[in-house]
Amino acid sequence: MLFVLSMLALIGAVGAIIATKDRKTKQGAAVVLVISVVVALSQMIRVVPAGHVGVIDVFGKVSKRTLKAGVNLVNPFARVINFSIKTQEMKEIMDVPSKEGLNVKLELSVLYHLNPEKAADVYSTVGVNYMDVIVVPQFRSVSRGVTATYEAKALYTSAREALSKSIMDQLQNLVVSRGIVIESTPLRSITLPPRLTQAIEEKLQAEQESQRMQFVLLKEKQEAERKRIEGTGIADFQKIVTKGISENLLRWKGIEATEQLANSQNTKVIIVGGKDGLPLIMDAR
């Protein structure tokens, strides 16, 4: 509409310049002419913000060509609708069922962005509120369907990553054809019924205590094995030493000791021919 008015003003200004001979009238018409040209050109130039694409709508007919970020020349009668292609986040807190039928409270997020090549199709088939029409319902439906295949205790312990990945994969399969790309679905928190949470924590504590006792028993078993090996070594040593000691050896050692004492300066009395043939050594001081 503004373009039409500017064109009418431009035509009128040109006509006035041609028809009139009055100098002031021509000057006024020239000013109107310049303003009309500026306004008309402004209607043909559209600026698309960074991180957006522009969808061209001319009287209800949507062009398949989208405008990139920056300055663009378009049909002055076109309406340009900007769509963000930046990563967006949607958070949801919902009560979902587990495999046993228990209600589990989940806090999840979905990170997504619009496929710029399908922005025109999204505008034509869904509109600018595609998040509320497509992303939110599908996200809720998929989340409830996936959690129903997991036990509540698994969600609390080991299945968090698997749950998040399964939600992302299924959601991506549903919305990718509609021009929406799912980046990730991080699982922020899981809240189980209080009694179930207490039971799981008690079980985990019992498992940890059992593992600790197994470690203690293993340590004691190793210590007992060490002592058994040490005792076996001592016994074997004693057997070897016992076998090597004979009566002749003891006599010989006794004679050597007698000779050493006899050569010492201490006053001793040595009686040869003691019990078992070994000399007796008596202190004569």
DSSP string, 32-48: HHHHHHHHHHHTTEEEE
Angle, vertex CA 276, rays to CA 274 and CA 281, nearest 5: 30
Q: What is the pLDDT of residue 47?
A: 87
In angstroms, the Cα distances linking 139 to 112, 122, 135, 148 are: 11, 18, 6, 14
CA 26, CA 20: separation in Å to the nearest integer?
7
Ranges 26-40, 168-182, 204-218: which has the least confidence: 26-40
Do residues 79 and 94 share a domain? no
Residues 120 and 168 in one domain: yes
Distance CA 34, CA 21 (A): 19
273 in any annotated domain: yes
Q: What is the pLDDT of residue 6?
A: 59
CB atoms within 10 A of CB 116: 17
How much is the average pLDDT of 125-137? 90
Mean pLDDT, the chain, rounded, equals 76
Calculate Rg over the CA atoms of the chain.
50
In this structure, is residue 21 part of a structural domain? yes
Lowest average pLDDT, out of 6-15, 93-102, 134-143, 215-224, goes to: 6-15
22 and 59 part of one domain: yes
Q: What angle do CA 211, 217, 220 make, to 5 degrees?
A: 145
In a domain, 201, yes or no: no
Cα–Cα distance, 252 to 11 (Å, whole number): 145
Residues 174 and 109 occupy one common structural domain: yes
Domain boundary among 57, 84, 111: 84
Q: Is residue 9 part of a domain?
A: yes
Q: Which domain holds residue 139?
A: 89-192
pLDDT band at 110; cut points 50, 70, 90: very high
| Amino acid, single-letter form, for residue 7 | M
225: how many CB neighbours lie within 10 A of its CB?
Answer: 10
pLDDT of residue 16: 62
Answer whether residue 181 shows pLDDT above 70: yes
In this model, does residue 283 exceed pLDDT 60? no
Share of the chain above pLDDT 90, in %: 19
Q: Are residues 146 and 118 in the same domain?
A: yes
Q: What is the pLDDT of residue 85?
A: 93
pLDDT (0 to 100) of residue 86 = 93
Q: Are residues 277 and 215 in the same domain?
A: no
Residue 85 and residue 93 in contact, taking contact as beta carbons nearer than 8 Å: no
Nearest-angstrom CA–CA distance, 252 and 245 = 11
- Region 234-258: mean pLDDT is 67
For 97, residues 6+ apart whose C-beta sits below 8 A from its C-beta are 103, 104, 144, 147, 148
Note the pLDDT tens digit of each residue in 57-90. Answer: 988 888 888 899 988 888 777 888 999 999 999 9
Total tally of structural domains belonging to the chain: 4
Pair (102, 183) in one structural domain: yes
Kindly state whether residue 197 falls inside one of the protein's structural domains: no
pTM to 2 decimals? 0.59
Alpha carbons 273 and 193: distance in angstroms, whole number: 96
Q: Look at residues 84, 106, 133 and tell me which one is the last residue of a structural domain.
A: 84
Residues 118 and 153 in one domain: yes
Q: Does residue 123 belong to any structural domain of this protein? A: yes
Give the three-state DSSP class for 224: helix
Same domain, 171 and 120: yes
Q: Which pLDDT does position 194 carry in this prediction?
A: 66
| Of the listed ranges 126-140, 203-217, 220-234, the one predicted with least confidence | 203-217
Query: How far is Cα of residue 195 from the mean position of the Cα atoms in its chain?
Result: 28
Q: Tell me: do 173 and 252 sit in the same domain.
A: no
Whether the predicted pLDDT of 182 surpasses 90 = yes
CATH of the domain at 186: 3.30.479.30
For the chain, percent of residues with pLDDT exceeding 70: 61
| Least confident among 20-34, 58-72, 204-218 | 20-34
Picking from 66, 84, 102, the residue at the C-terminal end of a domain is 84
Residue with tokens 């209607």: 43
Closest Cα to residue 180, out of 191, 188, 171, 170?
Answer: 171
Classify residue 202: in a domain, yes or no: no
Q: Are residues 99 and 21 in the same domain?
A: no
100 and 125 both lie in a single domain: yes
Task: Say if 251 falls within a structural domain.
Answer: yes
Contact 34, 57 (CB under 8 A): no
